[in-house]
Chains A and B, each alone.
Chain A
């Protein structure tokens, strides 16, 4: 009886507290959403309209800024370059990391622990500490100003997170499956490709999405390695635009939308996996 009463009291005081809680939470969500809406609505305005009011919705949908962005710079080329770079990075990182993770999670051998610590440590090394010698290596083998020159260091940079995430998932696969396959005479490659790859698909997808986002968003590597604008990924290409046309605000808004469009679509599609994968990876790391 008395317990019931208490809950009743709780619910009453709950309501005011709840209302306040929701107000704070919604207010904060405005700070993350509104900036994007502001940029989005202004990407359809001329610079003059923008100076008059940046808060109003555009009166007519003016695509000129987007047309401008596309003609002034070859943005499709930029997307293609990004796709070549990030696509290759994702495929190589996932394949090599899955192989390594399978061994680390499933084989006991001398050096397993050392290799794990080495991989963990390499995740903590900032890119600044390696980029100058990497630049020299790439210059020595003639890879400066090539896509491969960006792809190779990006692969190395993304492997640690993927291996750590995948290892922790592969460790949870039940032993029985593997034993049964062994009894039936399956070799290691078969066990890996027919059992572990299908079972760890969600983890593979999470690692792939993150590798893609980090590769697509990376400016540093391409800034240093690539010189020819025709080979620039989107990010790098649009950085040039923003310094060249710094006063055409409508154009700049369109440019920002064009950079973040692809990542926001990836986020919308994979948001559950992204949010959960980030937690799993971060808490483990």
Chain B
């Protein structure tokens, strides 16, 4: 006979075990192994040889890593500015209207559900030279057709679909935050003669500051995970000019069979992500104290 207490412990264990088992086997354990692997030279995964910090030295000398890191931060800049920025403007505007809120919520949000694969293919068509949507517009306006994805423009052309896809996501989060602001705050401000644009600057924005920072953190986190869109749209080209870290890791692992080096790149992705998020949260916190 089991005592009540051990029965309870048993239930807790049995209910939690399946989910936790999956997380340990497929997330936690591989995460640790990945760190260990970064100290080995492995071709494929049959043989491996301990090489200390060689993979890390290679990382610092690799010019493509330099390009990928630079691109990651460039995309991060566009994403924070346009993705979250446009979302904020749209949320403030939608909060002000009486009719059609549901329509805009539905329409702005839907690109989220489309796979990055399909979006990559769509934008490849939009950028295409002979039939692309952009060049069709150029012809319609009587302008010259253009080659849209060049070595100089590649990063921007990759950032556009990312922004396009995620504006709706941040729009929904920010709109929810704005809706949670107590209405009487606006009413008393209105009686004091504060209205329209000033109202937004002095009441709405300070009150949703925390949520805006959360959005920035999500956006930064999202940029570190970019992969399939770039794979389909440009494959990192031309001349590696739109290479991102995830795609480069994938290529090193599965095209060049350099597993150990790929493991090192994936660590770099995590470290950069965490460092950037920490800095962003710190900077905004300090500002909040002076405010």
Residues of chain A whose beta carbon lies under 8 Å from any beta carbon of chain B = 3, 10, 13, 17-18, 21-22, 24-25, 28-29, 31-33, 35, 38-39, 42, 47, 50-51, 53-55, 96-97, 99-100, 102-104, 107, 109, 115, 118-119, 122, 124-137, 139, 152-153, 155-157, 159-160, 163, 188, 192, 213, 216-220, 223-224, 235, 238-239, 242, 249, 252-253, 255-256, 259-260, 263-264, 266-267, 271, 274-275, 278-279, 282-283
Contacts and interface: CB of A to CB of B under 8 A. Distances in A.
Contacts of A17: 96, 196
Which applies to chain A's interface (DSSP): helix, strand, loop or mixed?
Answer: helix
B34 A100 contact: no
Contacts of B124: 242
Given A126-B224, A137-B30, A156-B23, A264 B110 contact: yes
A156 B86 CA distance: 34
B266 A29 contact: no
Interface in B197-227: 211, 214, 218, 221, 224-225, 227
Contact of A128 (B195, B228, B266): B266
A156 B31 CA distance: 13
B66 interface: no
Given A130-B27, A133-B33, A235-B115, A220 B227 contact: yes
Given A126-B273, A256-B121, A115 B16 contact: yes
When A and B form their complex, which 3 residue pairs have the shortest distance between CB atoms, in order from nearest?
Answer: A156-B26, A217-B115, A133-B30
Interface of B: 8-9, 11-12, 15-16, 18-20, 22-23, 25-31, 33-34, 37, 45, 86, 89-90, 93-94, 96-97, 100, 103-118, 121-122, 124-126, 128, 130-133, 136, 140, 164, 168-169, 172-173, 176-177, 190-191, 195-196, 211, 214, 218, 221, 224-225, 227-228, 231-232, 245-246, 249-250, 253-254, 259, 262-263, 265-267, 269-270, 273
Contacts of A256: 118, 121-122, 125
A55 B214 CA distance: 40
B34 A156 contact: no
Given A126-B269, A260-B118, A239 B169 contact: no
B115 A159 contact: no
B27 A271 contact: no
A133 to B, nearest CB: 4
A241 B45 CA distance: 30
A33 B107 contact: yes
Contacts of B96: 17-18, 21
B228 A139 contact: no
Contacts of B131: 42, 47, 50-51, 54, 249
Scoring B26, B108, B125, B126 by chain A CB atoms within 10 A of each residue's CB, the highest score goes to B26
B124 to A, nearest CB: 8
Contacts of B30: 129-134, 137
A25 B117 contact: no
Contacts of A271: 106, 109-110
B113 A132 contact: no
B107 to A, nearest CB: 5
B15 A129 contact: no
Given A31-B164, A129-B269, A156-B27, 12 more contacts: A21-B96, A25-B104, A28-B90, A32-B168, A50-B131, A51-B131, A100-B19, A126-B273, A128-B265, A136-B45, A219-B228, A256-B118
26 contacts: A28-B90, A32-B107, A100-B16, A107-B12, A109-B12, A126-B225, A128-B269, A129-B31, A130-B26, A131-B266, A132-B30, A133-B29, A134-B26, A137-B26, A155-B22, A156-B25, A157-B26, A159-B19, A217-B117, A224-B254, A235-B118, A253-B125, A256-B118, A279-B176, A282-B169, A282-B173
